[in-house]
Amino acid sequence: MISVYHAGELAVQKLAGEEFLAEQNSKSIRSVIFKGAMAFIQTQSMIIASTVGENGKVWISFLTGEPGFISAASETMVTIMACPPASDPLIKNLLSNPEIGLLAIDFNRRIRMRINGKGEIDESGRLTVTTEQVYGNCPKYIQKRSLQPSGGFRRTQRYAQHSNKISSEQQEWIRLADTFFIGSASLEGKMDASHRGGHPGFVELLDESTLLFPDYFGNSMFNTLGNLYSNPNTGMLFIDFQAGHSLQLTGRSYIIWDKCQIALHPGAERLVRFEIDEVLYIENDTPIIWDFHEFSPANPSLVRHY
């Protein structure tokens, strides 16, 4: 067991009045990969990665491959044999800053595990991550999906587009989304990747460069919110589960504590406003398809009570 909390996380735990619960949950966090976790990651076909560029912007990416493309070389080392699309900033970011946050998530079994540490890319394109924090998360808010092998596993970029605001088509994508991933960095520079889920519509568009989303009850460790509290630089990732296209946003997040605003969003403990600095859309050339099965039973209703 190791201490995992940074200044921001401790501050948010205190503000939320959940220091005791956070302390209890932190006992599951280790610096090494235990045997069950080794077996889990080696069966996965996707992993999420959060990195930061020289300009401080946080980006969150996803890598895919046939089961076995992720492996545990030792209890402190994970290897990933997959290259991101050409326009994805993952490799460029790691060359300037090795800090990385990983999230392995199995939608079908509703299992997720976080691995934070330092990453290195070799000449063959293999990503090696030396672990500093390894821990599981609860299954809440994970929509049940299964990857269809017939669609393929590898991402191949067909087209990429950069902009500083989301298009009307991308706005509709976000409005219909039931899942996204969020990347953050602590004040000390440690990276984290996390999952957020809810019923379609749980992410709101305030305008073409501002999003609003609820923070539902979780494990009370506040890894993401703690980072946002001390370092607003944030990345968001939306995946098109019918084709493997990706919508990556980088910008700044701000926690909203106002009880009147929060009360308008059923199930929300807090709200987060995300202001977009840059948008990267990558169109996948070879389809990667997840079949949808059911929403998480933990998803709060979106029906508002005034």
Sheet holding 111-121, edge to edge: 58-64, 46-52, 99-106, 111-121, 127-137, 77-80, 70-74
Q: Is the dihedral of CA 162, 163, 165, 171 positive or negative?
A: negative
Among 279, 280, 277, CA closest to 55:
277
Among 300, 301, 291, CA closest to 145:
291
| CA max distance for the chain | 58
In eight-state DSSP terms, residue 30 is: B
d(CA 134, CA 273): 28
> Average pLDDT of each block of 10 consecutive residues along the chain (306 residues)?
50 50 57 90 96 96 95 94 95 96 97 96 91 92 93 89 96 98 94 97 97 84 86 97 96 96 94 98 94 97 74
Q: Provide the pLDDT for residue 59.
A: 98
Among 258, 251, 217, CA closest to 237:
251
Q: Is the dihedral of CA 271, 137, 112, 200 positive or negative?
A: negative
Among 166, 296, 293, 298, CA closest to 241:
293
Q: What is the token pair recorded at 146?
A: 């299964």
Q: What is the mean pLDDT of the chain?
A: 90
Q: Which amino acid is at 160?
A: A
d(CA 296, CA 199): 9
Among 70, 247, 45, CA closest to 147:
45
Q: Provide the pLDDT for residue 29.
A: 80
Q: Provide the pLDDT for residue 14.
A: 52
Q: Which amino acid is at 178?
A: D
Contacts for 111 with CB less than 8 Å, ≥ 6 apart: 40, 105, 136, 139
CB 129 within 8 A of CB 106: no
Q: What is the pTM of this model?
A: 0.91
d(CA 246, CA 279): 10
CB 238 within 8 A of CB 49: no
What does the pLDDT look like over 88-136, one tens digit per residue?
A: 999 999 999 999 999 999 999 999 999 999 999 988 889 999 999 999 8
